[in-house]
Structure 1
Amino acid sequence: MTLRVLHVSPYMAAAAGGPPVVVDRLVARAAANSADAHILTTTAYSDDSGAGLRRTYPDLTLLPHQRAALTGAGRAAVRRAVAQADIVHLHTIWSPLTAVAAAAARRQGVPYVVSPHGMLDPYSLAQKRLKKRTYLALVEGRVLRGAARLIYTAQDERDLAAPVVGHDRADIVALGADAPPGDTAGLRAAFFARHPDLAGRSLALFLGRLDDKKRPETALQALNLVRADYPDAGLLMVGTGPAEQALRNLTRQLGLQDAVRFTGFLSGQDKWQAMAACDLFVLPSRQENFAIALAEALHAGLPALLTRRINIWREITDAGAGIVIDDTDEAAIPTHLAAGWRHWLADPAARTRAASAAGQLARAAFDWDDSAARTHAIYRAVLAG
């Protein structure tokens, strides 16, 4: 029997980060798991009023914005989408869209599962704390209690969420990550053909939203320290976000203009070319549920510098594919980051071993086909339960 799945995400634009990627990959693998997938989303983060989303996903329900779910027409659209599903998968929380979809599912007797995507992490809960505490009491608590299952991406995510929702009804399914297409040497050559002034440098990669949460400024500060010993070290800052102008200003203040390249948001072949041009991946974030970009970098053979705030840090360090830095002292983070950076630059053989370990880990643990199969197995278990 074909399983009808409704994926509900407040946003599907690529610039929004991880959840849209997860939905996209699950939808792409629905047929292989004897399922038919539909998407309910909004135009949030979309710069073309959703036109691109309609081209990519012809069969979707698209609301003009998240709060549209609270209107009469929006609620009716949500109810229709839910009524056509055997099971609903809510991606993220703290959204009017997911709350209305959960309510519609409860009323219509359609079971639903929730992927919090790190939004029950203490760091996330501390942002707009009073507002979230109130919303949790009035709305989100019922959404979470009504879920047939809570699907986490890592053990750390489940444990960090436990004080709010407990350990019951919990499944852990690691996300997948894409692997680079084609020949790494060719991708690397294509990047340096476009950026010849960076050829010959040992480049680190920061790829993600340029936001205070990810502490991108510490990568610049660490580079400034590293260049005292390795003047050819450089950094690619791939992404956009509210901190971009401040980061550009800091780059000038530190005199790093020739060593740092801001590329803006990259996707597809451009993203893989940037990865192929780099020797390591830097993610000094305050909190990451999974970090798909990091897992993609592992597939590309990039050793990592990361904090324990990334929920897959144990897998990476156990495999010998990265170095965890101490971030308990905020002021010392650039120093610790620089020490790890120097380690990889000083010992190319160790970096080569870590690169091989990174690829092996990614292929074994972060595979979209496996992730989708396990997720669809949870759907069927819920319906059979």
Structure 2
Amino acid sequence: MRLLHLVPSVDPQGGGVIEGVRRVQEALAAQGHTGDLVSLDDPNAPCVAAHPGPVVATGPSSGGYMYNERLLPWLKAHAGEYDAVIVNGLWQYTGFAAWRALHGTKTPYFVYSHGMLDPWFKRQYPLKHLKKWAYWPWGEYRVLRDAAAVVFTCEEERLLARQSFWLYKAREVVGSYGTSTPPDDAQRQADAYFAAFPALRGKRLLLFLGRIHEKKGCDLLIEAFARVAAQSPDVHLVMAGPGDESLTRQLQARAQTLGLADRISWPGMLSGDLKWGAFRACEVFCLPSHQENFGIAVVEAMACSRPVLISDKVNIWREIAEDQAGFVESDTLEGTVALLQRWLAATPAQLTTMREAALHSFEQRFRMEQVAEKLVEIIRTHSPPPRA
């Protein structure tokens, strides 16, 4: 098959969507399914030049909605060249343009909501939710209603998506999601990481890797770390990732007040060997998020055989708990403290067993090759029959 992937942006600092799309594309290509990637970025944007594959950048786009005048004509001219179009994400122009261009044509489109229908957003941002309601009936509602299928990455996401808007209709299917097997040579990656951050060598590293954002529970992790730091002087917290500079400064100031400034590192966004080296170097990965559709970094840690400490708002928490690949608690300070205490109380033998379980869970559930196979199956099952 030939598939077209629509994304708002290829900028990796915007979150894990583009990383997942890129990995899916690679896995599909390995199975003989070619495709193209179209974004709303300005063609001259640095992220377009830095993307490791070709991008049809239809921008520049305006506002948070990222509207531009080039995407719709491009889709109308080229959509017939593809067996299916895959829309990634909601609330930006990609979905509505796909609906306008493809509704009623022979080219089906499929939508990944990527957690953007989670009711957490409704509770956390009620004014924004009211604005979305004004747009919903003539916009995203129709995008979802007329899609060949709306693909959810896990059962938890599918159930939560029904709670945000009472006007809701979709052909729901549950696929899967994940990441590619990490590059080989784990020792080289760990060495590269410690070469960049030599002061961390010999420490028991607790890793957070992701956007520094209020929904990720970064504040909970720092407060919980303060509760256990005294009993574990060899533990060091690594807060790796891009994000809101104001929030980062607030978190760093709080760490200073708590007397933890020298026990928390803020390396910024890590990529390549440094990213994989961070996973290889840590003892466990922690994500006490208030809302997480999937959590690519969670699965990347498991692929590196690292146990994961997560909240029950990370939508794959049931799978993690079932596979005993880590610990799960509530997205509260008490729950986050419990995560760290359970980790610190584990024996070396128990941690070894958890590392093995984490890797096994990744291989059985979250390898990108399996994700690509499931996506192809969904497209073939839900695409309309060819017209006579």
- What TM-score, normalized to structure 2? 0.90
CA distance in 1 between counterparts of 2:299 and 2:336 reads 23
Q: Name the residue aligned to 2:161.
A: 161
Q: Name the residue aligned to 1:379.
A: 379
Q: Name the residue aligned to 2:173.
A: 171
Letter of the structure 1 residue corresponding to residue 261 of structure 2? Q
2:40·2:68 contact (CA, 8 Å) conserved in 1?
Answer: no
CA-CA distance at 1:177 after TM superposition? 1.6
CA RMSD, Structure 1 to Structure 2 (Å): 2.4
2:141·2:168 contact (CA, 8 Å) conserved in 1?
Answer: no
Q: Deviations over 1:100-142 (max 9, x none)?
A: 1221111544211111011111113443210122221221111
Q: Name the residue aligned to 1:229.
A: 231
- Cα–Cα, structure 1 residues 196 and 211, in superposed 2: closer, same or farther, change >3 Å? same
CA distance in 1 between counterparts of 2:197 and 2:328 reads 30
Q: Name the residue aligned to 1:63.
A: 59
- Cα–Cα, structure 1 residues 77 and 69, in superposed 2: closer, same or farther, change >3 Å? farther
CA distance in 1 between counterparts of 2:295 and 2:276 reads 16
Q: Name the residue aligned to 1:79.
A: 76
CA-CA distance at 1:50 after TM superposition? 2.7
Letter of the structure 1 residue corresponding to residue 23 of structure 2? R
1:226·1:341 contact (CA, 8 Å) conserved in 2?
Answer: no
Flag structure 1 segments of 5+ consecutive residues without an equivalent: none
What SS does structure 1 have at the residue aligned with 2:292? coil
1:153·1:174 contact (CA, 8 Å) conserved in 2?
Answer: yes
Letter of the structure 2 residue corresponding to residue 191 of structure 1? Y
- Cα–Cα, structure 1 residues 369 and 232, in superposed 2: closer, same or farther, change >3 Å? same
2:38·2:57 contact (CA, 8 Å) conserved in 1?
Answer: yes
CA-CA distance at 1:332 after TM superposition? 3.0
Letter of the structure 1 residue corresponding to residue 355 of structure 2? A
Q: Deviations over 1:268-303 (max 9, x none)?
A: 111011111110011000011110110000111111
2:43·2:58 contact (CA, 8 Å) conserved in 1?
Answer: no
CA distance in 1 between counterparts of 2:159 and 2:33 reads 31
| Larger CA deviation: 203-212 vs 183-192 | 183-192
2:10·2:48 contact (CA, 8 Å) conserved in 1?
Answer: no
* Structure-to-structure mapping, 1:270-309, within 5 angstroms: 270-309=274-313
1:33·1:376 contact (CA, 8 Å) conserved in 2?
Answer: no
- Cα–Cα, structure 1 residues 143 and 224, in superposed 2: closer, same or farther, change >3 Å? same
Q: Name the residue aligned to 2:200.
A: 198
Q: Name the residue aligned to 2:362.
A: 362
* Structure-to-structure mapping, 1:304-323, within 5 angstroms: 304-323=308-327
CA distance in 2 between counterparts of 1:70 and 1:233 reads 47
2:96·2:143 contact (CA, 8 Å) conserved in 1?
Answer: yes
* Structure-to-structure mapping, 1:319-358, within 5 angstroms: 319-327=323-331, 330-344=332-346, 347-358=347-358
What SS does structure 1 have at the residue aligned with 2:212? coil
Letter of the structure 2 residue corresponding to residue 321 of structure 1? A
CA-CA distance at 1:192 after TM superposition? 2.2
Q: Name the residue aligned to 1:22.
A: 20
Flag structure 2 segments of 5+ consecutive residues without an equivalent: none
CA-CA distance at 1:331 after TM superposition? 4.8
- Cα–Cα, structure 1 residues 364 and 331, in superposed 2: closer, same or farther, change >3 Å? closer
* Structure-to-structure mapping, 1:67-216, within 5 angstroms: 70-126=67-123, 127=125, 128-163=128-163, 164=165, 169-216=171-218
Q: Name the residue aligned to 1:266.
A: 270
CA-CA distance at 1:78 after TM superposition? 3.2
- What TM-score, normalized to structure 1? 0.90
CA distance in 2 between counterparts of 1:296 and 1:167 reads 33
- Cα–Cα, structure 1 residues 230 and 246, in superposed 2: closer, same or farther, change >3 Å? same
